[in-house]
Amino acid sequence: MGNIISWKNVSFNYEGTKRKVLKNINIDINEGEFVVITGPTGAGKTTLCETLNGVIPNFIKGELSGEIIVDGLNAKSTPVYKMASKVGMVFQDPDTQLFGMTVEEDIAFGPANLGLTYEQCMERVVKSMEDLNIKALRDRKPFELSGGQKQSVSIGGVYAMLPKIIVFDEPTSMLDPIGKERVFSIIKDINKKYGITIVLVEHEMSEIVKYADKVIVMNEGEIYLSGEVEEVFRQVDKLNELGLEIPQSIELSLKLKKDNYLGRVLLTPEEIIDVCSKFKPKAEFKSKEQSILIENEKETIIEVTNLRHSYLGDHDDLKGVNLSIKKGEFVAIIGQNGAGKTTLARHIIGLLKPNEGKLKVRGKEIADKSVAELSREVGYVFQNPDEQIFTDSVEDELKFGPTNLGEDRDYIKNIVDEVLQDVGLDKYRKVWPKYLSKGERQRLAMGSIITMNPDVVIVDEPTTGQDWRETLWIMDLLKKLNDKGKTIIIITHNMEIVNRYCNRVLVMLKGELILDGTPKEVFTHEDELKKAYVRPTDITYIAKNIDYMPDNIISVDEFYQVFKEIVM
């Protein structure tokens, strides 16, 4: 198959700035290829994709040099609406790309813009819904759908325009695991079954290495690495330099290859299971499991007794939850969207009142306390930092909480100075928060809670939409707070960070707490996890599916050590 996309010496800077966000890009993509573009935040990935359909420079202004040829058209000089029939784009946030009052109308939006008649539009709608398996959503209101369903509809709307290329800009960053799986499976089908060229911008690599033909790694507007998946991921040191996440299967595979257990780098967990299962164990593994649960004598800081809550009154969203959390624990609440994780957390901070049951913080009932009163003891960082930043400068934002609590000036000055250092935003003290990157805004949101010095910090999905480096930065910050004695509770879908940072995991399903224990304990309960749609990390999955390996492995290093012990 021939070239369908060609960037030749492409450079770009946004209007009013001199900084080049794309620097002399040269890439060719063949028709039908599945190409993944990755790299740290700010590397220029999205900008590069926006040059494909002419959004840059027609919609987003700036200085664009070089040549961009897409299916024979010059993307720089062809109007965006003409390019739209060649290149479809699916963005991060499904809420901002759904235009119809119903799913059917939304999918018809693009074809209608192309000037097709009602009947022609409907033909496209039906085909799109059939091919993407979303027929059941036809008459639903887009805004009532789950995240995964919304994103599927967005893809359907783009697919109905019959483009030859579809660009996906971090399409799963706002989705839960089920939504992610659904969207990845659709993307895979679009490529493999219907032959559409895919350009996917993504941070999370473990899922997509299974389907990608080519990986492009960008950094600071340049192509840092490119080639086939194996070729790129073999260069671990270079990837580590950028702080990129390396899929656990590849990390393990590289270690095993180095010790000559494997002849080549294996990309997927299934391949590793297949090959490693053929080894014969020479030793029986003796578990050296250490208990890392917080000692019992520590003070109980949060106590939840028979907590029930119902939003609409027709069913319980929390069904009699019982729980106690000790001072200094680092707890992860996991489970599918709608399982009751955020509802539980909102009760602890007092934003929701229970229909039944009791909540105590430091032994005192909180029923009569206002949220503001409770904020001295329990801090809550919302999922979206933009919904909790109120002031005009980073410094003022950090002052907002302690000022409301009536702290004196000197205290506020000292704590703000300290926290600015802790969250790494000292140089942005006077900057308008909107000018910060998403990761920095998330840090600011966390900092604004830390300045209130609560004993418990609850963070709702702290790493959603962040690159791996920022994810680790944020989690390290929470770890430091935990080391200082703070109790940390995170709500997350990222099992890798649960394994790395948390000493206790609570699994929720349909308003009930179904598992409670250390990561090692919890991740062995395969059946319950399946019910809760929680997928352990690849390394746990690999270990579980190799007969001679213990099934409570939670890190690559641990797997590697145990494997060597058993098979050598």
User: Using CB under 8 A as the criterion, which residues of the chain lie in contact with another protein when the complex forms?
Assistant: 53, 55, 59-60, 80-81, 84-85, 88-89, 91, 93, 95-102, 105, 108-110, 112-118, 121, 139, 141-143, 157-158, 161, 349, 351, 370-372, 375-376, 379-380, 382, 384, 386-392, 400-402, 404-405, 434, 448-449, 452
Of 101 and 292, nearer to another protein (C-beta) is 101
Distance of closest approach, residue 99 Cβ to another protein, in angstroms: 7
Burial 390-421 (b: 16+ CB within 10 A, else e): eeeebbbbbbbbbeebebeeeebeebbeebbe
Taking the alpha carbons at both ends of the chain, their separation in whole angstroms is 46
Distance of closest approach, residue 12 Cβ to another protein, in angstroms: 16
Question: Is the CB of residue 182 less than 8 Å from the CB of residue 125?
Answer: no
Of 349 and 539, nearer to another protein (C-beta) is 349
Do the bridges between strand 300-309 and strand 73-74 make them parallel or antiparallel, or are there none, so unpaired? unpaired
Of 399 and 544, nearer to another protein (C-beta) is 399
- Quote the distance between the C-alpha of residue 123 and its chain's center: 35
Question: What is the SS3 assignment for 263-294?
Answer: CCCCCCHHHHHHHHCCCCCCCCCCCCCCCCCC
Of 141 and 257, nearer to another protein (C-beta) is 141
Of the candidates 536, 543, 538, 535, the residue with the CA atom closest to the CA atom of residue 561 = 543
Distance of closest approach, residue 347 Cβ to another protein, in angstroms: 13
Question: Is the CB of residue 98 less than 8 Å from the CB of residue 142?
Answer: yes
Phi, psi values for residue 109, rounded to 5°: -55, -50
DSSP codes joined into one string, 449-480: HHTT--SEEEEESTTTT--HHHHHHHHHHHHH
Task: Give the span between the Cα atoms of 504 and 482, in whole angstroms.
Answer: 13
Of 214 and 441, nearer to another protein (C-beta) is 441
Task: Give the span between the Cα atoms of 397 and 417, in whole angstroms.
Answer: 12
Of the candidates 199, 212, 106, the residue with the CA atom closest to the CA atom of residue 158 = 106
Distance of closest approach, residue 173 Cβ to another protein, in angstroms: 14
Distance of closest approach, residue 434 Cβ to another protein, in angstroms: 6
Of 441 and 520, nearer to another protein (C-beta) is 441
Work out whether the CA dihedral 50, 461, 454, 518 comes out positive or negative.
Answer: negative
Phi, psi values for residue 516, rounded to 5°: -150, 120
Question: Is the CB of residue 350 less than 8 Å from the CB of residue 371?
Answer: yes
What does the DSSP 8-state code read for residue 94?
Answer: G
Amino acid symbol at 361? V
Structure tokens at 215: 């990986």
Of 143 and 411, nearer to another protein (C-beta) is 143
CB atoms within 10 A of CB 115: 9
Distance of closest approach, residue 376 Cβ to another protein, in angstroms: 7
Determine which helix (DSSP H) or strand (DSSP E) holds 421, and give its type and residue range: helix 409-422
Distance of closest approach, residue 53 Cβ to another protein, in angstroms: 6
Determine which helix (DSSP H) or strand (DSSP E) holds 527, and give its type and residue range: helix 526-531
Of 139 and 295, nearer to another protein (C-beta) is 139
Of the candidates 46, 51, 53, 78, the residue with the CA atom closest to the CA atom of residue 63 = 51
Distance of closest approach, residue 201 Cβ to another protein, in angstroms: 14
Distance of closest approach, residue 455 Cβ to another protein, in angstroms: 14
Structure tokens at 373: 């009163």
Of 440 and 538, nearer to another protein (C-beta) is 440
Of 62 and 100, nearer to another protein (C-beta) is 100
Distance of closest approach, residue 539 Cβ to another protein, in angstroms: 36
Task: Give the span between the Cα atoms of 434 and 439, in whole angstroms.
Answer: 12
Of 105 and 496, nearer to another protein (C-beta) is 105
Distance of closest approach, residue 25 Cβ to another protein, in angstroms: 20
Distance of closest approach, residue 5 Cβ to another protein, in angstroms: 16
Of 274 and 392, nearer to another protein (C-beta) is 392
Of 259 and 392, nearer to another protein (C-beta) is 392
Distance of closest approach, residue 88 Cβ to another protein, in angstroms: 7
Those residues with Cβ within 8 angstroms of residue 479's Cβ, 6 or more apart along the chain or in another chain: 330, 501
DSSP codes joined into one string, 105-124: HHHHHHHHHTT--HHHHHHH
Task: Tell me the Cα Rg of the chain.
Answer: 25
